[in-house]
């Protein structure tokens, strides 16, 4: 294809891709994305919209696993969750890049991670040195009701907390344990700690107020509602009280967008500046989702 033809095609793509902002909270629907002809021009525009809105939705598309993976690969390097590797509970039968989340039984065994329980507020794999940036979740099979996913705008939460608390948190680190996941299960290759003092557990430290690596905006970064966190340097009781107060803000509906899933929906969110949770559903019904993630920067803070 000639340079002129490429330029003409890119111009058409730029003019056809549209973001329709959700009425409540964060997020936007993406209209006009061509999954049959994914190119750098489309992905660049999509990335710009995603960085602006934090959460974007593809609704009414027919998206294959291969298209899902291609789009992900053009957004960044894949991150593979330990539970999606071959032989693990969330492994995809063909593509190691995809984590299977759900409760479907295959050959008498649940093929998916997390089951149908409610998932509390969290950021994906917050315990990594470099937690994921983009996360793309595609609905494969849905129950008739339940399993909705809520997203919280952590830019807005940061801006809403009292100024005095913001100043107290700026520049501080929060330590997240690597031992237990958000469901309270031991992580792979971890053992039960020999002390109750979470400060001594294996963990990772990140800024509790982080600077987004692309937007340069500040947001709150607090891991998971059910994880063991410690604001470094504070007494444990004071740290726990502050984290509880921060999660009280996260739970406020004014910061939320609720995704009521429809067949084939795919949501792409920015894991650096949002948190999410999921409702449970009647376990007699199957819900299967395919998720990919891309590598992000190591969280940092700039004054």
CA distance 219 to 148: 24
- The DSSP 8-state label assigned to residue 198 in this structure reads G
Decide: pTM greater than 0.85.
Answer: yes
Helix, strand and coil in the chain, % to nearest 5: 25, 30, 45
Nearest by Cα to 291 from 267, 273, 271, 274:
267
Q: What is the pLDDT along the chain (303 residues), one digit of tens a residue?
A: 444 443 444 444 445 799 999 987 799 999 999 999 999 999 999 999 999 999 999 999 999 999 999 999 999 999 987 777 776 777 788 898 999 998 887 766 666 667 777 789 999 988 889 999 999 999 999 999 999 999 999 999 999 999 999 999 999 999 998 777 766 778 777 888 888 888 888 889 999 999 999 999 999 999 998 778 999 999 999 999 999 999 999 999 999 999 999 999 999 999 999 999 999 999 899 999 999 999 999 999 998
What pLDDT score does 24 carry? Answer: 76
């Amino acid at each position: 294809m000639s340079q002129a033809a490429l330029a003409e095609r890119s111009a058409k793509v730029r003019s056809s891709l549209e973001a329709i902002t959700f009425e409540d909270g964060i997020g936007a629907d993406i209209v006009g994305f061509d999954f049959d002809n994914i190119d750098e021009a489309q992905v660049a525009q999509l990335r710009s919209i995603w960085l602006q809105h934090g959460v974007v939705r593809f609704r009414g598309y027919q998206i294959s696993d291969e298209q899902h993976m291609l789009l992900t690969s053009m957004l960044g390097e894949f991150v593979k969750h330990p539970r999606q590797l071959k032989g693990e509970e969330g492994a995809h039968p063909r593509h190691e890049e995809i984590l299977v989340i759900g409760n479907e039984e295959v050959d008498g065994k649940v093929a998916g991670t997390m089951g149908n329980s409610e998932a509390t507020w969290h950021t994906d794999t917050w315990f990594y040195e470099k937690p994921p940036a983009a996360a793309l979740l595609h609905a494969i099979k849905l129950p008739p009701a339940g399993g909705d996913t809520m997203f919280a705008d952590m830019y807005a939460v940061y801006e809403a907390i009292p100024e005095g608390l913001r100043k107290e948190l700026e520049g501080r680190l929060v330590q997240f344990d690597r031992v237990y996941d958000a469901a309270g299960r031991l992580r792979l290759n971890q053992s039960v700690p020999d002390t109750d003092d979470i400060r001594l557990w294996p963990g990772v430290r990140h800024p509790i107020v982080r600077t987004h690596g692309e937007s340069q905006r500040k947001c709150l970064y607090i891991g998971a509602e059910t994880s063991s966190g410690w604001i470094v340097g504070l007494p444990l009781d004071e740290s726990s009280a502050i984290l509880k107060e921060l999660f009280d803000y996260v739970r406020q509906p004014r910061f939320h967008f609720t995704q009521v899933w429809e067949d084939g929906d795919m949501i792409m969110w920015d894991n650096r500046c949002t948190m999410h949770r999921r409702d449970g559903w009647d376990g007699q019904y199957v819900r299967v989702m395919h998720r990919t993630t891309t590598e992000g920067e190591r969280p940092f803070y700039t004054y």
